[in-house]
Chain A
Amino acid sequence: MIDVIDHLVGIEPDSPLDRLREQRPDAREHAQRGFDALLTPDVPGAVSLVERDAVAAFVTGLHSDPRTARFYADRLAELAPELLGAVRLEIEAGSTTGPYGTYPADGPLAAESDEGLRYRTRQPEALGTRLAAAFEHAHLLVFRPREAGPKDLRALADAGWSDTAIVTLSQLVAFLSFQIRVVAGLRLLGAAQKETTS
């Protein structure tokens, strides 16, 4: 069974990477179940499918991995093609390098504070209130998670996000941060394996 990580890495059945992943069967199975729970839930509940796909397209776009970004953009294109242009514009507006962020000025980590882009949506009206708030929160989690605070959760609540919806949104961004890195890492490991055997 090819799962999403296999697809994004380009893992063929019975290849060295396939056999490697099989040695951590629970991690393999549940990384896929995590994708299923977040992107194709039976009951979307507090976060709509369009919101899930739009946030995923935005977050993966910020990571500049073309294959992964295209996979999630294609999902959004299928569900809500009218949002694609707006999401692309926001990816462009939000692209930078991280992690960065400030620590409390009077605390022991102040010397490690590292300023960077404080993204605000460029076209909030194209996204709508809820999605615009979600994008700003997603950008915070992707690039400067150390700065997250109660006020950021209040901003989501003000935009109509319930506590349960905030948990799902946070899990979505955090899960993608994991999936993207597994894919990037395994792809390089696969390339290194090919070099060794050729």
Chain B
Amino acid sequence: MTGSTTDQLGFTTDQLGWAPWLTPPAEHELTEAHREALVDASRAASPYFRLLARDPDILHARTKTDNDIFYNTKGGLPRPERELAATATSRRNGCVFCASVHARFAAHYSKRPDDVRRLLDEGVAAPQEGRWRAVIDASVALAATPSEFGAEHIEALRAAGLDDLAISDTIHAAAFFNWANRLMLSLGEPTSDRKAH
């Protein structure tokens, strides 16, 4: 196990590292299939993505799905709110690492670092204004097992000005982080020493 003690980490916008509990292939061991699965060549430097490359086909599908949900900005939900859905989902599920990354994105794109900070510090029930409230509530309801997402969440998103594509984007962004959180939380742990990675 590398890095500093992680038991003490709370939710933060600091840059964190992530240390795997299983051994990822070393960079020089990556085959052509591994590299293709990484989609973005620079991800070969990440122990997380190298570990997932042990099963290349699902890593490839995961990454292409992720990229379209978060980076396809043709209409739909604005980028800051997609990152907000990712952050709220990660906050609810308890993924300190995922929340740190996407809280930074949400704060950067929205220029609302104080609202993001409140979400991290006080949790998903902390006060937020209308549109953010609706996106956070929808994300939290979708994080529940069984799902607690209901017609009232769709109504609230519509009342906040979201069209159907934006509502679908909210659903996808929140749903995707139920995928991402479970991998990040169960295959390794965040470290406060990002230089290790």
Contact = CB atoms under 8 A, between A and B. Distances in A.
Contacts of A25: 68
Contacts of A109: 10-11, 94
B145 A63 contact: yes
A186 B24 CA distance: 36
Given A108-B8, A168-B58, A189-B164, A146 B145 contact: no
B68 A26 contact: yes
Nearest to B158: A192
Interface residues of B, number: 65
Contacts, number: 205
> Which of B23, B51, B59, B61 gathers most chain A CB within 10 Å?
B61
A112 B123 CA distance: 10
Contacts of A142: 145
A16 B164 contact: yes
A174 B177 CA distance: 9
28 contacts: A23-B74, A24-B68, A29-B64, A63-B145, A65-B146, A97-B146, A108-B10, A109-B11, A109-B94, A145-B181, A145-B185, A146-B95, A148-B185, A149-B21, A150-B1, A163-B22, A167-B51, A167-B54, A168-B54, A170-B187, A173-B182, A174-B182, A177-B178, A185-B147, A186-B168, A188-B151, A189-B154, A189-B168
Given A38-B58, A184-B147, 6 more contacts: A24-B72, A30-B62, A146-B93, A153-B186, A174-B181, A181-B178
